[in-house]
A and B are shown apart, each in its own frame.
Chain A
Amino acid sequence: MNHTDYNFAYLDEQTKRMIRRAILKGVAVPGYQVPFASREMPMPYGWGTGGVQVTAACLVPEDVLKVIDQGADDTTNAVSIRKFFEKTAQVAVTEKTLEATIIQTRHRIPETALTEDQILVYQVPIPEPLRFLEPSEVETRKMHALEEYGLMHVKLYEDIARHGAIATAYAYPVKVEGRYVMDPSPIPKFDNPKLESPALQLFGAGREQRIYAVPPFTQVVSLDFDDHPFDPSKAPHPCALCGADDSYLDEVITDDAGGRMFVCSDTDFCAGRREDAP
């Protein structure tokens, strides 16, 4: 089959229109989970079907696409989604954060500061921040509607009671524009401060059929206690490759004798720094 048999960016125009409506509603109500009719995609749930649909609905032929998975451009998920859009939309792709107009991401926000001309699309497994505390969807929707978020703090209380500090290290709950409590997808809490960004941020959950958004320059506050303030922690090391001491690090096991190294999880950021170094 020739790739021109696909509509531009795989989805048909009616579907993209439906998704764009959900995105617009999400932008109008920051942090609110908008239900949408998620489609079957040619990849399994959990591989980013929500993010792919949002990206497909946003793409125009002039776009430059970057896809990252856990900060890296060259992991399976990132490569296959990038190939998918190269084939179905013939858009230009890049690994450089600054050159991209749309960045689809899983588990990270790029280290390089984003601009007003960029859209960041997140893949979200479980969009409901209250899900593991309250199993009923009817009840969680009511809690969002009535702004009853005490339960979220019960989770943080449990963390401190059990571990002495807020042990939630990823998918750290945030309050958007003083209203909705939102799950920022499983990004490390190190990335939470970067959620206040000039770029448009869109979140797509394919299996759970929800889209939500954080518009540019929206206030995003990480929840905490007065006497246990939010701490965007990271491993206390510099990157072993580029020497950066302000980026989020992956711990890589190098042998079976306890050898390990800490390297930037953002591969583009790390490579860029090494190129620039004299």
Chain B
Amino acid sequence: MTPLLDVRGLTKRYGARIGCLDVSFRLYPGEVLGIVGESGSGKSTLLNCLAGHLAPDAGQVVFDTRSDGPRDVLAMSEPERRMLGRTDWAFVHQNPRDGLRMRISAGGNVGERLMAVGARHYGDIRAVATDWLGRVEISETRIDDRPSGFSGGMQQRLQIARNLVTGPRLVFMDEPTGGLDVSVQARLLDLIRGLVRRMGLSAIVVTHDLAVVRLLADRLMVMKDGHVIETGLTDQVLDDPQAPYTQLLVSSVLQV
């Protein structure tokens, strides 16, 4: 089976400091990979390098494209990479304000990616937008409202709809539940899990919240100081952590 994403020796330095060092992993279709670690461990740097927001200093990111098979994303031309960014890839930001256009209606936000790939029929765009708002549990009557009037949870759900509307195969998520209260978090996680399973998406989820990866991720990568210190199946890593840092991380979770 061809991996959807094959990362080899990815390195990013900020001058003398290390962002992430020599990270390699494979992600197979339909798989959800969690990346955990404390603040400053390099997990966001890694995600941004993978998604093409940052240029890594060394390494390869080989993506199994629909048309030409596996290709190194970093060697692609910029138009190709940006095209990938709005068709087969999606990026869910921690803060929905970074991922949404706050001055444009919910329908326009969802329709933007469709129009970016050439949809030119208003009625069709609106029908798809309505359908997607329904799938992320936003009432159809809010379609012409701006996201600035939405609650935090609704904004995050809208961001997810906006990203998934073109049927991507790989979703990058940066702390998707950050800043939400726990009950809203739980519903959002439920929703994401349902969408990921139903659409057969592959996803890379960066978070410091172990509960999120426990629910979403099939496999887990633990990072510290820019290095990957432990990988394995999620339950295996969380229930039987081997590295001292992972043991600390798991034992630091508050039990209610």
Q: Number of A residues contacting the other chain (C-beta, 8 Å)?
A: 15
Expressed in whole angstroms, the Cα–Cα distance for A154 and B111 within the complex equals 7
Interface of A is mostly: helix
User: Residue of B at shortest CB range from A166?
Assistant: B122
What are 30 A-B pairs with beta-carbon distances under 8 A? A146-B78, A146-B79, A146-B82, A148-B82, A150-B112, A150-B113, A150-B117, A151-B112, A151-B116, A153-B115, A153-B120, A154-B101, A154-B104, A154-B115, A157-B108, A157-B111, A157-B115, A158-B104, A158-B108, A161-B105, A161-B108, A161-B126, A161-B143, A162-B144, A225-B120, A225-B121, A225-B122, A226-B121, A226-B122, A227-B122
Q: Number of B residues contacting the other chain (C-beta, 8 Å)?
A: 23
B residues near A225, Cβ cutoff 8 Å: 120-122
Report B123-156 residues with CB < 8 Å from chain A CB: 123, 125-126, 143-144
Expressed in whole angstroms, the Cα–Cα distance for A153 and B123 within the complex equals 13
Best-buried of A153, A160, A162, A225 by chain B (most CB within 10 Å) = A153
Show the binding face of A for B, using Cβ within 8 Å: 146, 148, 150-151, 153-154, 157-158, 160-162, 225-228
Cβ of B107 < 8 Å from any Cβ of A? Answer: yes
Interface of B is mostly: helix
A residues near B101, Cβ cutoff 8 Å: 154
Q: Is the CB of A226 within 8 A of B120?
A: yes
How distant is B8 from chain A, measured CB to nearest CB, in Å? Answer: 28
A sample of 14 more A-B contacts (CB under 8 A), given A146-B78, A150-B112, is A146-B79, A150-B115, A150-B118, A151-B112, A151-B116, A153-B120, A154-B101, A154-B112, A157-B108, A158-B105, A161-B105, A161-B143, A162-B105, A226-B122
Expressed in whole angstroms, the Cα–Cα distance for A95 and B204 within the complex equals 67
A residues near B111, Cβ cutoff 8 Å: 154, 157
Expressed in whole angstroms, the Cα–Cα distance for A209 and B51 within the complex equals 35
Contact of B123 among A151, A158, A227 (CB under 8 A): A227
